[in-house]
Every structure is written in C-alpha cells, then in structure tokens.
Amino acid sequence: MLAPISLRKQKGEGGNLSSQRLMLLLAFVIGVLTALAGLLLKWFIGVIEHLLTHRFSITDANWPYLVYPVIGIFLTGLFVRYVVRDDIGHGITKILYAIARKQSRIKPHNTWSSVVASGITIGFGGSVGAEAPIVLTGSAIGSCFGQLFHLDSKKMMLLVGCGAAGAVSGIFKAPIAGLVFTLEVLMIDFTLGSLLPLLVSCVTAAAVTFAFSGTGNLFEFHLVNAFAIERVPAYILLGIFCGLISLYFTRVMNWLEDQFRRLGSPWRRFLVAGPILSILIFLFPSLYGEGYGMIRLLLNGQGPDDWNQVLEGSFFYAAPHLLLLYLAGIILFKVFATTATNSGGGCGGTFAPSLFLGCVSGFLFASLWNMLSFFNLQIPIFNSVPENNFSLLGMAGLMSGVMHAPLTGIFLIAELTGGYGLFLPLMIVATVAYLTIIIFEPHSIYTMRLARKGELVTHNKDQAVLTLMSMDSVIERYEEHLHPDDDLGEIVRQLSASNRDIFPVVDSAGKLLAVLVLDRVRHVMFRTELYHQLHVRDLMSRYAARLKVGDPMDIVMAAFDRTQAWTLPVVDDAGLFIGFIRRSHVFAMYRQMMADMSDE
C-alpha cells in the first residue's frame, strides 16, 4: 500500500521534477473528471426538460409553467436540507472563501451535490445557470485530490484553480476562457510555472467534451457583417448600456437576497419565492431554465419571422409588434426570477443569466438604435447595425460587468460562438462595460460580500498574503490567568513556572480586564515583605488595543502599526480572553508566505 504523498518543496532537482510531474498528472485527471461532470449535468438537465416540456404549445400560454419551477426548487430544497445538509449555493463565492479562509479545502460532497441539485433546479425550469455549480464541482475535485495527497496550501490552491479552469473549459468548450477565468475571477496570483497545470486541465477538459459532444461551438454564429469603424460609437454606447444593466442586476440581486434572508425560515422563503418564480416564467416563458434556446434564436435569426419565435408559448405570441416590450420585460424581471430560484431553495449560478441577459440587451440596444437610425439617416454614426452581432457583443458586455472580468467575457464569447471576426468590438464593449460598472460597484457579484468582511484574495500580493494568513495560527494561547485581587506572591509563583513576559488579567468570568507585563514586576519580585501587600491591580497595565478572534489579518497589522505594540491580546465576541498575538510571530509567518507565493 502506498504511503501518503506530500508535495512540499523538496531539496534537489529530482525532487522538484517529481513534484511537477505529479501535479501535471493530477491536472490531467482533474480535467477529465470535471469534463465528465459537466457532460453529466447537461445530460441530466436536458432529459428532465425534454420530459416536461416537449409537448408544450407554441401558440398558447402553458399552465405547467406555473407548477414545474416550484416543484423543482421544492425538490432541490428537500435534497439540500435532508441529504446534503449543507449550504451549496453561491458556488464561486464558496470557492473564493475556501481559498481565503480554509486553505483551499472544499467539502467532498461538493464533488456531486451541486450536480444533482442544479440538475433538478434547472431541469424543472429554475431561472439559473449550470456553470457556477459545475465550477464548484471541479474545484471540489481538485481540493479532494490535494487533501488526498497532503499537499501544502499553495499546491492546494493550484489544484482548486485547475478544477475551476477545467470546469469552465469543458462546459463551454472554451479552454482559453477557462484559463483566463481562473486568473481573473478567482484572482489567484499564480506564477508562470503554475500555468502549465492549468493549461493541462483546460485542454484535457475541452478535449473530453469535444470527444463526447462534437467539436462544434456551444452557440453557432455565422458572421455576416464584419467589423466597421463607423460602428465604434455604437459599440461604446452598447458597453455603457451593458455596464448599467450589470449594475442593475448586481444591486437588485443583492437587495433581493437580503430581503429573502430576513424571512428566516427556508419554508417562508420558499412560500414567497415560489409564486414569484412561477408567475414570471408563466408570463415570460423565455425565463424557463438557462435560456440558451433564446440565445441561439437571437444570434442566428435572419429577420422578424425568426426573432418572433422568442414569443412562442407566451401571451405575446399573437402580438409580434410587442417583441421589444417583451425583451425589456425580460431584462427587468430576469434578476427577480434568478434570485427567487436560489432563495426559494434552488441551486444555480449567474453565468447563464449573464449570457442570457447580455444577448437580450445587445439585441434590444441594436433594435432601438436601428429605430433611431430610421429618423436620422443624414447622420453617419446612426447607420443601422446588425442585431445578431450586437446580441453577441452584449453577452461579452454583461459578463464583463457582472463578473468584473472583461478578459473572460472577451475570450469566452469568442470561443462560445466562433465570433473571432468581432474580436475588436468584443474588446471595446467588454472594456467599456467594465469601466462603467466599477464607477458604481468596485466588486463583482461574487466578491462583494467577501470584500466587506476582508476575506477576499486579490492580485495585490501583500493583501493576498494577509488574507490567506489565519489568525488562529498566530495566536499564542494561555493557560495562566491572573485576577485583580491576586497578590505579588501569586504573581511570582506564576512567573517562576512560566517563561512568558506578559500575562492576562481577567475577572471571575474570564473577561479580559488588563495585562501584567514582567517589567512592571521585576523591581519588586524579590522583596518578600511585599508579597502580601502588593496586588495585581497595583501593577497591571491597560492594553494598547485588543483584537477579536475573527478579525482579518489586515486589521491585526493595522493595530500593531497604530499602537507600536509588540504583543496584543485576543478576545472572543463576548470579551473572554483567548490568547496573545506577537508582532514578531506575525511578521515571520508573513515573510514565509510571501516567499512561498513568489516561489516558482
């Protein structure tokens, strides 16, 4: 039986070579497994959706839209609550939290639980995407391999990144986007030597997906109108439009999640979210599931006869002149449907909603622009624009804005559709959308909550090291305690039995009152006649500052800088004494982690 393998840095060139080879092998295996998980999830969703909707009418509203999504989030809620017994929502946020606070350790059940939960949710019509759950699945696979081989935190982080990169690469058939997503969205500051395992995972996942589902793009797109310089003003305005829609989507989703959270009980959330979701999907059937069918219609439609198919199965079917109003309603209500799905008990991500909204936003913008050009034929910049192209560009704009990831938006949309002929417009729209939203919202939909708590790893290496450092690992825990009424004799007794130079002074409940420093006792500790005359209250000092056990390390470092102290006490939320943190210990760990992060 093989002994557990540890890949901590070994001396000698041969040891490093062996470590690198094993990392590449693990990246390959992770790529295969994440691709298979993605294929399984897509198949699972497709089977359920086909069984439920293949007989739906295209000319009339379908009442099962009122029932299926609610059944889906109800079944998912039961599965999560009684089988998984853990929160599996907000998949990418969970990955970021695991990297920042759990040394990249993700629970093993995440290798399968998100696949089952999101498959049920989306198959029954939940208005979310399958991509974020599969990214969590891939990262969990990478984390499990890291734990199996007892890897250090740096290599654990790399394998989590390989899982995420492989998941995006496989489910979208987009290996470049998988690599860029990991570097840009997960904000892992890898060295050049770390890129090779990521590439192996991306290429492997894409190849496995191609082998099972063919080499065609996820969304077929046939470029008819190539890039034209006179359309640059329209591209810029589309980017601003997408940035504002991204801001609306992000802000409203967070507000709605807060409102649902205040309801408390999962059953209360379900009773409120269920009717919202069912009514919205009944009125706007395009909100059912991921919405990829509608994306294909808008990307490849050749005119109103094709685009009006979007209205099939809705009350708007007999009124094709209301198509733009229908699309505006989708933009307005998609965030309500997505949030109701997740808050009501479902499981899904915002990848697909971002693509869906972006496609609709781009099409709506182009249609309105063309209406404007009809009345302004004499102004060159108002020449008509192709709706298909702008639907494609809108996808990059929304993804860039919602995820704060312009590079991911550019490369993902180019690979998803084969729209490389529009690479420059993709860059313009994605960049402008990103620049628009960061004016109002500095953090993405995935990172804003972690950023508020100081739990977000960033590309700033100094900040990243502080985030990755664990306060628990630098706390010096004490068994010795002094009380204000203890006399000098008790102080000397504890000093003689310890090698410490500072002691906590606590009350009878263990709450920190002050500290006693050895220097305050040194001049009287050998005067035995004072042993029963002097007490702790006469010798104790007020601490310069106290830290709470949950404080992030940037607050710890700021406290040391502000007070110029060398040792600070740590208490819990109730004020009970936990231990001390020494500046020298923190700096030593900081230097070691900085060296590890910079090491190839």
Query: Between 456 and 391, whose confidence is greater?
Result: 391
Torsion, CA 96, CA 101, CA 106, CA 110, rounded to 10: -50
Q: Which of 94, 118, 93 is nearest to 106 (CA)?
A: 94
- pLDDT recorded at residue 518: 82
Helix (H) or strand (E) holding 182: helix 175-184
DSSP state of 462: H
Which of 7-11, 277-281, 310-314, 555-559 ranks highest by mean pLDDT? 277-281
pLDDT of residue 187 exceeding 50: yes
Output the 3-class SS for 258-316.
HHHHHCCCHHHHHHHHHHHHHHHHHHCHHHCCCCHHHHHHHHHCCCHHHHHHHHCCCCC
- pLDDT recorded at residue 467: 57
Whether the CB-CB separation of 200 and 29 falls below 8 Å is answered with: no
Among the ranges given (69-83, 193-207, 535-549), the one the predictor scored with the smallest mean pLDDT = 535-549
Whether the CB-CB separation of 340 and 276 falls below 8 Å is answered with: yes
What CATH number has the domain spanning 463-598? 3.10.580.10
Mean pLDDT value across residues 164-177: 92
pLDDT of residue 79 exceeding 90: yes
Where, residue-wise, is CATH 1.10.3080.10 in the chain? 13-220, 229-452
Where, residue-wise, is CATH 3.10.580.10 in the chain? 463-598
**Topology at the third CATH level for domain 229-452:** Clc chloride channel (1.10.3080)
Tokens linked to 484: 């204000």
Give me the amino acid identity at 96: L
Question: Class assignment of domain 13-220?
Answer: mainly alpha
Which of 50-64, 149-163, 395-409 ranks highest by mean pLDDT? 395-409
In whole angstroms, what is the distance from residue 50 CA to residue 71 CA? 16
Q: How many CA atoms lie within 13 A of 336 on its CB side?
A: 16
pLDDT of residue 137 exceeding 50: yes
CA 270 from chain center: how many Å? 24
> Mutual orientation of helices 461-468 and 553-563 as an angle, nearest 10°?
100
User: CB within 8 A of 127, min separation 6: which ones?
Assistant: 69, 277, 280, 281, 287, 288, 289, 291, 334, 337, 338, 340, 341, 348, 353
Q: Cα-flanking dihedrals φ and ψ of residue 477, to 5°?
A: -85, 140
- Global pTM value: 0.77
In whole angstroms, what is the distance from residue 359 CA to residue 394 CA? 5
In whole angstroms, what is the distance from residue 213 CA to residue 227 CA? 31
Q: What secondary structure does DSSP assign to 393-447, as a single string?
A: HHHHHHHHHHHT-HHHHHHHHHHHH--GGGHHHHHHHHHHHHHHHHHH-SS-TTT
- pLDDT recorded at residue 572: 87
Among the ranges given (79-88, 225-234, 258-267, 492-501), the one the predictor scored with the smallest mean pLDDT = 492-501
- pLDDT recorded at residue 596: 59
Whether the CB-CB separation of 310 and 325 falls below 8 Å is answered with: no
| Residue entry with tokens 């069984």 | 51
* pLDDT mean across residues, the chain: 85
| Residue entry with tokens 């991509």 | 131
What confidence tier does 241 reach under pLDDT thresholds 50, 70, 90? very high
